[in-house]
């Protein structure tokens, strides 16, 4: 798929990613480094928690979603985030889950002050292999216009 520019996008466009298999080792390693809570680190402790089993950090889910989002949308010059609204973790992510991201362009407009770029609002919902939503958010992202060619 070619990289996408401002002119290629319109409200209602939908982009779907491939999948990412979440492993227990990935959950524990991420938690060790960034979110060291017992229900992310230790299967036995997690069984006694609200989650009733090992659960990925929401921040790991967000990081995996970012990987899936970037691969699914392929914005020219990358996805430069300007903000995230309404981030929700809806269900725990477990070892063995396969996550996918579905992103829908809610709005797109050219920048009023900076020619050659625009702003998109994109809703992304991450689902597991059962089709259950595990995370959702709305992002505001910078989108580059197609470079002018010629003189």
CATH number of the domain residue 131 falls in:
3.10.129.10
Q: Domain for residue 116, yes or no?
A: yes
Please give the span between the terminal C-alpha atoms of the chain, in angstroms, as a whole number. 28
Q: Domain for residue 45, yes or no?
A: yes
Residues 128, 130, 136, 138, Cα dihedral to 10°: 100
Q: Which domain holds residue 53?
A: 6-144
Strands 20-21 and 133-144, by their bridges, are: unpaired
pLDDT digits (tens, 9 = 90+) for 88-134: 999 999 999 999 999 999 999 998 898 899 999 999 999 999 999 99
Q: In total, how many domains does the chain have?
A: 1
pLDDT band at residue 29, thresholds of 50, 70 and 90?
A: very high
pTM for the whole thing?
Answer: 0.92
Q: Domain for residue 150, yes or no?
A: no
Tokens coding 74: 């392929």
**How far is residue 100's CA from residue 19's CA, in Å, rounded to a whole number?**
5
Q: Domain for residue 1, yes or no?
A: no
């Amino acid at each position: 798929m070619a990289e996408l520019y401002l002119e290629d996008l319109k409200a209602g466009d939908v982009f779907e990613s491939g999948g990412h298999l979440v492993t227990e080792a990935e959950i524990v390693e991420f938690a060790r480094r960034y979110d060291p809570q017992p229900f992310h680190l230790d299967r036995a402790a997690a069984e006694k928690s609200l989650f009733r089993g090992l659960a990925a950090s929401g921040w790991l889910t967000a990081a995996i979603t970012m990987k899936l989002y970037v691969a699914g949308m392929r914005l020219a010059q990358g996805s430069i985030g300007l903000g995230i609204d309404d981030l929700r973790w809806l269900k725990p992510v477990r070892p063995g889950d396969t996550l996918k991201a579905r992103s829908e362009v809610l709005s797109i407009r050219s920048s009023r002050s900076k020619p050659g770029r625009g702003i998109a609002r994109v809703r992304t919902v991450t689902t597991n292999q059962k089709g259950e939503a595990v995370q959702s958010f709305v992002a505001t992202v910078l989108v580059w216009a197609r470079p002018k060619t010629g003189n």
